[in-house]
């Protein structure tokens, strides 16, 4: 049962344009959402997060939007840079679950120069 879904396995964008990565979830108990970035042969690294009490969180070029009614979140990267090319994982956590993270399958973002 996939509680966190990233339906696009890959995304390709041009340098300087916006990258939009999407994530859907099914568990209404999730109240905290995170994005992790992973380069090949490395572990995931934290990128940005958002609490369910907010609908937007911004950090430099990265913005996460949360639509609770649609159980959907998205990560916007603008402008995209070649160094952003990586796998992006969406993750979610619920207060009553010992704060364990449930991850999606990831989306491979390729930013072309």
Partner 1 sequence: DTAVSQTPKYLVTQMGNDKSIKCEQNLGHDTMYWYKQDSKKFLKIMFSYNNKELIINETVPNRFSPKSPDKAHLNLHINSLELGDSAVYFCASSQGLNNYNEQFFGPGTRLTVL
Binding site for partner 1 (CB under 8 A): 32, 34, 36, 41-46, 49, 51, 89, 91, 93, 98-103, 105-106
Phi, psi of 84 (to 5 degrees): -80, -10
- Closer to partner 1 by Cβ: residue 19 or 106: 106
Residue whose CB is less far from partner 1, 53 or 113: 53
Shortest Cβ 102–partner 1 spacing (Å): 8
Nearer to partner 1, 2 or 12 (CB): 2
DSSP characters for 23-91?
A: EEE--TT--EEEEEEE-TTS--EEEEEEETT-SEEEETTEEEEEETTTTEEEEEESS--GGG-EEEEEE
8 Å CB contact between 93 and 34:
yes
In the complex, minimum distance from the CB of residue 38 to partner 1, in angstroms, rounded to a whole number:
8
Residue with tokens 């999606």: 104
20 or 108, CB closer to partner 1? 108
Minimum distance from residue 82 beta carbon to partner 1 (Å): 22
């Amino acid at each position: 049962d996939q509680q966190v879904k990233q339906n696009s396995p890959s995304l390709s964008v041009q340098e300087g344009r916006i990258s939009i990565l999407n994530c859907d979830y099914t568990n209404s108990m999730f109240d905290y959402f995170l994005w992790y970035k992973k380069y090949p042969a490395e572990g995931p690294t934290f990128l940005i997060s958002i609490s369910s009490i907010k609908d937007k969180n911004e950090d430099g070029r990265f913005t996460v939007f949360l639509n609770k009614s649609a159980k959907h979140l998205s990560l916007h990267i603008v402008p995209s840079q070649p160094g952003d090319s990586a796998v992006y994982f969406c993750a979610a956590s619920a207060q009553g679950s010992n704060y364990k993270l449930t991850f999606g399958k990831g989306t491979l973002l390729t930013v072309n120069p």
